[in-house]
Amino acid sequence: MIAALGNHLWQSTMFGLAAGILALFLRDNYARVRYWLWLASSLKFLVPFSLLVAVGSRVGWHRTFAPAPVAFTIAQFAQPYAPIRPAAMASPAAFNPIPMFALALWCCGSAAVLIGWWRRWRRVARILDAAAPLMEGREVEALRRLDASIPILSSNALLEPGVFGIWRPVLLWPAGISKRLSDSQLEAVLAHEAAHVRHRDNLCAAIHMLAEAAFWFHPLVWWIGARLVDERENACDQEVLRVHRQPQAYAEGILKVCEYCVETPLLCVSGVSGADLKKRIRDIMRHRSARDLSAARKLLLAGAAIAAIAAPIGIGIVNTPAEAQTQLGIASGPLPQFEVASIKPAAPDQRGISIRPGPNGGININNMPLKELIVLAWKIQPFQVSGGPSWIESLHWDITATGNHKANRDEIPLMVQSLLADRFQLKIHHETKDLPVYALVLANKDGKLGAQLTPTKEDGCTPFDPSKPPPPPDPGRPPKLSCGGMFMGPGQLGAMGTTIDRLTPMLSRMLGRTVIDKTGLTGKYDIQMQWTPDPAQLQQMAPPGGLPPNMPQPQFDPNGPSIFTALQEQLGLKLEAQKGPVDILVIDQVEKPSEN
């Protein structure tokens, strides 16, 4: 959380500095252009780039992704596990009061800013309640000549003329000021206020007030606020002079207002005396015309705007393949089906599960609960399944299905989806949630791999060496693996000729959290790793239905490395905790199947 906030503040600061450079480059152009630049800087504090990156990642969901070998993981879990001794359990992290203190300090600062503004807002609201609408007079006639349909209220308070309100703005007009202004001065001042209404300056000011309340501790936010006031007043001055072309009358009108009234009490009440008044009067009297944007400067601004929006969205799209294993493979068209399928409750005393190929592209599944069938069919992890009654985990099923053709590897999960929809009346939808994930990265900056993660030889897979991992209590072995094979048991993992994107789903199941491959490794590797699993990992790895009977219990070294340490020391890889979009499959409807 702290790292994400730091990234957002750093990005927003750089964005504000870039806007300042552009505003300096455009100092001879109309002030309204610079005003929009500063407003974009304010909005950047409220809209983090990570939100646009998430939009890009959603756009990229249509791209293909590598399926997780979940069924293989379940079928290969054949080694027993034993209860962990207390010494092997991780000690709880010490309480750190700094984040709570920082949060409390931020809340106090934001509350102070909001309360201060609310009190001043209420002061203006009380003045409005006592004001009376003006239906006729010099002010109303001047507004008609300006073609400005703004309700005008007369007040006895010594508050300068200003536009109050965001969605239905009204012009608050001090009752005694009109007698001090000539017709040309009155019309110029009213034209200034009408310009504020046309450009919805109060709405923009209110948006920046939110940025100031949220990021009150950042000096740049307050500096941007001052620039917004400067440029919005300069923009209205330029618009008045462009229409009326009476700089002396306009400047005299502003000065008379300042002599009669006090300063406007709130940032989002657009008045006539804001910004550096001395500089404004000097610029008005000089009546120096601002230049229109040239074609080159228009292209520069357009390019900057497109880059600010498109770049983070593009990053999200580009990074989608690396995070694609979080996306569910929910098919939209007709699904292939088994020709014949038999579903029966598994025997109550049956232990362990098995998945075997059946005849003619079929499949035989023993002792598997519905939740694991869903995991198999949609190539996801158990923690990505949400909803449904409790029996989807407690009841186990035997399934014998025969295909009507020689189905390929990718068709089997789709055929299981069709079977679940037909026999279990399963209906699902998917949602995306921002959840904790792990990023698998290289542990060493130089890209050096660990001794037990070695590239597969070009002339074939290297023999699996059972001497490297510790021998299991049952002297029978880790199994010998053919090229492309993988084995995972409690505290050990072996693979030959495999890719990293096949390793991450197995880590995901073991850790109960999505693991995203960000190593950049694309080759095939031989892997051997050992560690001391903790209770949470054993629970994640335990097959539904329990272990087969009469299996020996291995003993883990309580001082052995955790899986995080083993990955770093033995494979040269590292898991970094992050947050990212994870697709969740939600069960809307499911029923128990009838036996046949």
Residue written as tokens 């985990």?
393
Helix (H/G/I), strand (E/B), else coil: 133: strand
Does position 320 have pLDDT exceeding 70, yes or no? no
Instruction: Tell me the residue ranges of DSSP E strands in 340-384.
Output: 340-345, 354-358, 362-369
Percent of the chain with pLDDT over 90: 15
Torsion of CA 453, 454, 455, 461, to 10 degrees: -100
Provide the token pair at 125.
């609201």
Model confidence pTM above 0.75: no
CB atoms within 10 A of CB 466: 16
Instruction: State residue 309's pLDDT score.
Output: 80
Provide the token pair at 8.
């957002």
C-alpha to C-alpha distance for 511 and 527, rounded to whole angstroms: 18
Instruction: Tell me the residue ranges of DSSP E strands in 165-226.
Output: 170-174
Strand order in the sheet with 492-498: 453-455, 525-530, 492-498, 486-489
Instruction: State residue 467's pLDDT score.
Output: 45
β-pair type (453-455, 396-402): unpaired
Burial class (CB in 10 A: 0-12, 13-18, 19+), 400: middle
C-alpha to C-alpha distance for 170 and 143, rounded to whole angstroms: 12
Q: Are 464 and 481 in contact (CB under 8 A)?
A: yes
Residue written as tokens 């203006």?
124
Percent of the chain with pLDDT over 70: 76
Instruction: State residue 464's pLDDT score.
Output: 44
C-alpha to C-alpha distance for 375 and 396, rounded to whole angstroms: 14
- Give the mean pLDDT of 2-24: 85
Alpha helix positions (H), 26-149: 31-46, 49-59, 70-76, 98-130, 138-145
Alpha helix positions (H), 246-343: 247-260, 277-286, 295-319
More confident residue, 238 or 408: 238
> What percent of the chain is helix, strand and coil (3-state, nearest 5)?
45, 15, 35
Q: DSSP for 217-270?
A: T-HHHHHHHHHHHHHHHHHHHHHHHHHH--HHHHHHHHHHHHHHSBPPS-TTSB
Residue extents of the structural domains in the chain: 2-32+48-63+294-322, 70-90+326-589, 104-286
C-alpha to C-alpha distance for 257 and 178, rounded to whole angstroms: 9
Residue written as tokens 């050992």?
530
Q: Are 184 and 249 in contact (CB under 8 A)?
A: yes
Lowest-confidence region among 128-132, 305-309, 513-517, 573-577: 305-309
Per-residue pLDDT reduced to its tens digit, 118-155:
888 888 888 888 888 888 888 888 888 888 788 999 88
Provide the token pair at 417.
């989806």
Confidence of residue 369 (pLDDT cuts 50, 70, 90): very high
Per-residue pLDDT reduced to its tens digit, 489-522:
778 888 888 888 888 888 888 888 889 988 888 8
More confident residue, 132 or 84: 132
Per-residue pLDDT reduced to its tens digit, 449-473:
777 788 887 655 554 444 444 444 4
Does position 332 have pLDDT exceeding 60, yes or no? no
- Give the mean pLDDT of 434-461: 78
Query: 524-558 burial, b for 16+ CB within 10 Å, e for fewer?
Result: bbbbbbbbbbeeebbebbebbbebeeeeeebebee
> In this structure, which amino acid lies at residue 90?
A
